[in-house]
Amino acid sequence: MAKVAQEKPEQTVLYGTPVVDGIAYAPVVWTRRPPIPDLTSPDLPEERRGEEAKKFTQAADEVTAKLQERADSTTGHAAALLSVTASIASDPAWRKEVTRMIRRGTPAVQATMHATDRFVTKFEKAGGILAERTTDLRDVRDRVIAKLLGREEPGIPTPSERVVLFADELTPADTADLDPTLFVAIVTQLGGPTSHTSIIARQLGLPCIVAARDISNIHEGTYVLVDGQRGTIRTDATPEEAQRRVDADRERVELIQKWAGPAQLADGTPVELLTNVRDGDTARDGRSVGAQGVGLLRTELCFLGASAEPTVEQQRALYQPAFDAFPHSKIVFRTLDAGSDKPVPYATLTDEANPALGVRGLRTSGHNPGLLLHQLDAIAQCAHAANHEDTWVMAPMISTIPEAEWFTKLVHERGLKAGIMVEVPSVAVLIDQFMEIVDFVSVGTNDLTQYVMAADRLSADLAEYSDPWQPAALALISNVARAGIRSGTPVGVCGEAAADPLLSCVLVGMGVTSLSVAPPALKAVGAQLSQFTLEQCQEAARAVRAARDQGDARHRARRIFEI
Ligand code: PEP
Ligand code: MG
C-alpha cells in the first residue's frame, strides 16, 4: 500500500543540554549576531587608505571606550568580562594587522573581517584560555564593523516585560550586565556547559539550556516553558500548567536556601560532601555553605600567572590558608595539573600539537621531577606544622601503574595519604590493580568524559558528548565505585558531575563515598540528597546503566525519583 505523505507535525518539545536548573515561563526575545558583510571588495585607491585607517582606529576606539565605560559602571565578574573584551578591542597586534591590510588597499570592513579571522585561527591553534577568547574577538569585530557601517552596535535589547532570551550564542559582553529581573531564562543554539553563557547563567542563577539545536523556528513573542533540569523547551504548555511548574520550582529554591549540612540522605545515611577550591578565599566560601572539607584543591590555579616555579616557602604561603579554613577536616590537594586548558608558564610545553593528549598533569614531572617533589614538600610541611591529620594528596592525569606506584611512594614518604584521579580511561579499565597501590581515588568526570567520548571538553560544538550523563562515562564511574566497595578504597567524584544535584544522588547510589563541588553548587546538591533514600539512589544507579544516551539516562533517573 502506498504511503500517504504526512505533514510533519510542529515540534512542541525541543531539547538542549541543561546547564542551570530552574523553571521559567515567558515570551521569547531573540538576539542575533549581525549578518557577515561581503568578504570581497575592490581595492581602495592609494589616496583614500590613510583616511580609511583613521576611520578604523576611531571605530575601534569608540568600541573600546564604550565597553570600558560599561566595565567601570559594574563590578565583580561582569566588570572583569567587559574589561577583557575592551582590552581585545584595544589590542595593538590586532589593530596593527587590520591597519596593515587597509594600507595595502583592503577597505576597513573587509580588513577587520580578515584580520580577525587570522587571530581566531591563531587562538584556536593555541588552545586553552586563548581559544576561549575567540568569542570575544568575533564580538569586537562585529561591534567595530557596525560602527564603520553606521549601524547600531549588536547587543541585547532591553525588554519591557519578563522574557526568555534566545540566541545563537551569547558573548561575554552581551551577558555581562544582563538584568536577571527581566531575563528569566537563557536558551542558546550553540555553546557548551563551560561557555561564557553557562558561566554567567550560573552566577545569575538563571535557568539555562545550551546546544538547543532546533530552536530557530520558535518565533519572537512565543510563550515557552523552559526546564533547566530536563533541558526541555516547550511551546505547548498552558499558562495554568506553567504556573504550577514555576510555583513548584520556587519550593525547590526555598529548600536549597534553607539547607545547611552536614549532608545526608532522606533515610539519614550520611554523605561526605566536600568542596572544590583554588585558595583560602574559596575554601572559606565552601565552609560557609556547609562543606565538610576540601575534596579538590586545584593547586595549578595558584600558579597560572607565575613565570618561574615558586619556592617551597612561597608555596607554603599559598597552601596555608586552606589549613586555616579547615584545621580539623579533610583536605585533598591535587598536585600541579599544568597543561592543556590550564597552561602554567613555567611547567607547560608550548609547542604541542595536541595539548589535551600531551604533557599535562603528572606527565610534566617527566621533564622536571623537581616540580612535584617541591610541591609535596610544601604540602607536607604545612600539614605537619598545623598538626593536620587528614591531608590527602592526589595526582592528576595518571595513566599507568608505575606512575601510581612512584607517586604513592613519594607521598607516603612524607607521611600523607596518597591517591590518584581517575581521568584517563586506562585507570578505570585497570582499576582493581590501581586500588592495590593507592589509598583513595577521585573521579575527574570532566576529563574522564572528554577522553572516553573523544570530545574536547571546551568545544561548544561537542556539548552533547561532554555531558556528564553520557552512559559510557557513567558505566566507568560505576565500575570504579564497585571496585572501591570490593577493596575498601574510598572513591570520590570531584568533576562537574558531582555538582549536578540529580546526578549526585545517582553517584551515591553507585557507591561513591564522597562528592566534591564548587561552593556555589554545594547547597543545591545537599538539598537534593536530602530528598531521597539510599534505596532510591541505588535503584536510579541501576536504571541509568541501561540508558542509550544522556537524555535517556536523565529520564530514567527522574522516573525512579518520581520528579
Ligand atoms: C576533572 O577533570 O573532572 C577535574 C576535576 O579536573 P579539572 O576540571 O581541573 O581538569
Ligand atoms: Mg581534570
pLDDT digits (tens, 9 = 90+) for 370-428: 999 999 999 999 999 999 999 999 999 999 999 999 999 999 999 999 999 999 999 99
**pLDDT for position 504:** 98
**pLDDT for position 116:** 95
Order of strands, edge to edge, in the sheet holding 13-15?
A: 13-15, 232-234, 223-227, 23-31, 163-167, 183-188, 208-210, 17-20
Q: Which residue among 299, 363, 397, 423 has the greatest number of ligand 1 atoms within 8 angstroms of its CB, and so is best to mutate?
A: 423
Burial of residue 530 (number of CB atoms within 10 Å: 0-12, 13-18, 19+): middle
Half-sphere exposure of 182 (CA within 13 A, CB side): 11
Q: Which residue among 278, 298, 422, 514 has the greatest number of ligand 1 atoms within 8 angstroms of its CB, and so is best to mutate?
A: 298
Is 555 part of the annotated catalytic residue set? no
Query: How far does the centroid of ligand 1 lie from the alpha carbon of residue 449, in Å?
Result: 10
Nearest-atom index, ligand 1, CA of 448: 2
Q: What is the end-to-end Cα distance of the chain in Å, rounded?
A: 43
Ligand having the closest approach to the CA of 301: 1
Question: Which residues, in sequence order, are CB contacts of 331 under 8 Å at separation 6+?
Answer: 293, 294, 297, 322, 323, 388, 390, 391, 392
Is 412 part of the annotated catalytic residue set? no
How crowded is residue 52: how many other Cβ atoms within 10 Å of its Cβ? 20
What distance in Å separates the CA atoms of residue 92 and residue 227, rounded to the nearest whole number? 44
Query: How far does the centroid of ligand 2 lie from the alpha carbon of residue 477, in Å?
Result: 14
Cis bond before residue 262 (omega within 30° of 0): yes
pLDDT at 1 over 50: no
Query: How far does the centroid of ligand 2 lie from the alpha carbon of residue 301, in Å?
Result: 12
Query: How far does the centroid of ligand 1 lie from the alpha carbon of residue 136, in Å?
Result: 24
Ligand having the closest approach to the CA of 473: 1
> 197-216 pLDDT, tens per residue?
777 787 778 999 998 989 99
Decide if 296 contacts 447 (C-beta within 8 A).
Answer: no
CB-based neighbours (< 5 A) of ligand 2, an ion: 423, 444, 447
Nearest-atom index, ligand 1, CA of 497: 3
DSSP 356-388: GGSS-GGGHHHH-HHHHHHHHHHHHHHHHHTT-
- Helix, strand, coil distribution of the chain in percent, nearest 5: 50, 15, 35
Instruction: Determine the Cα angle at 33 with ends 29 and 36, to 5°.
Output: 150
Burial of residue 267 (number of CB atoms within 10 Å: 0-12, 13-18, 19+): exposed
> 265-285 pLDDT, tens per residue?
999 999 999 999 988 989 999
How crowded is residue 510: how many other Cβ atoms within 10 Å of its Cβ? 25
Orientation angle between helical segments 49-72 and 76-89, nearest 10 degrees: 170
| C-alpha cell belonging to residue 194 | 563551560
User: Closest Cα to residue 322, out of 379, 252, 272, 377?
Assistant: 379
346: confidence class by pLDDT, cuts 50, 70, 90: confident
**pLDDT for position 11:** 67
- Say if ligand 1 is within 6 A of residue 439 CB: no
* Residue closest by Cα to atom 9 of ligand 1: 298
- Say if ligand 1 is within 6 A of residue 445 CB: yes
C-alpha 241 chain-centroid distance: 32
Please give, one letter per residue, the 3-state secondary structure of 295-313.
Answer: EEEEHHHHCCCCCCCCCHH
Give the DSSP H/E element, type plus range, for residue 488: none
User: Closest Cα to residue 492, out of 330, 298, 295?
Assistant: 295
DSSP 111-132: HHHHHHHHHHHHHHHH-HHHHH
Decide if 127 contacts 121 (C-beta within 8 A).
Answer: no
Ligand having the closest approach to the CA of 296: 1
Q: Which residue among 446, 452, 516 has the greatest number of ligand 1 atoms within 8 angstroms of its CB, and so is best to mutate?
A: 446
Query: How far does the centroid of ligand 1 lie from the alpha carbon of residue 249, in Å?
Result: 30
Nearest-atom index, ligand 1, CA of 495: 3
* Residue closest by Cα to atom 1 of ligand 1: 444
Instruction: Determine the Cα angle at 88 with ends 83 and 92, to 5°.
Output: 125
Which of 32-46, 311-325, 511-525 has the lowest average pLDDT? 32-46
What distance in Å separates the CA atoms of residue 150 and residue 140, rounded to the nearest whole number? 15
Burial of residue 84 (number of CB atoms within 10 Å: 0-12, 13-18, 19+): middle
The residue with cell 523552559 is 226
What mean pLDDT do residues 193-198 have? 73
pLDDT at 497 over 70: yes
> 66-81 pLDDT, tens per residue?
999 988 887 766 787 7
- Say if ligand 1 is within 6 A of residue 446 CB: yes
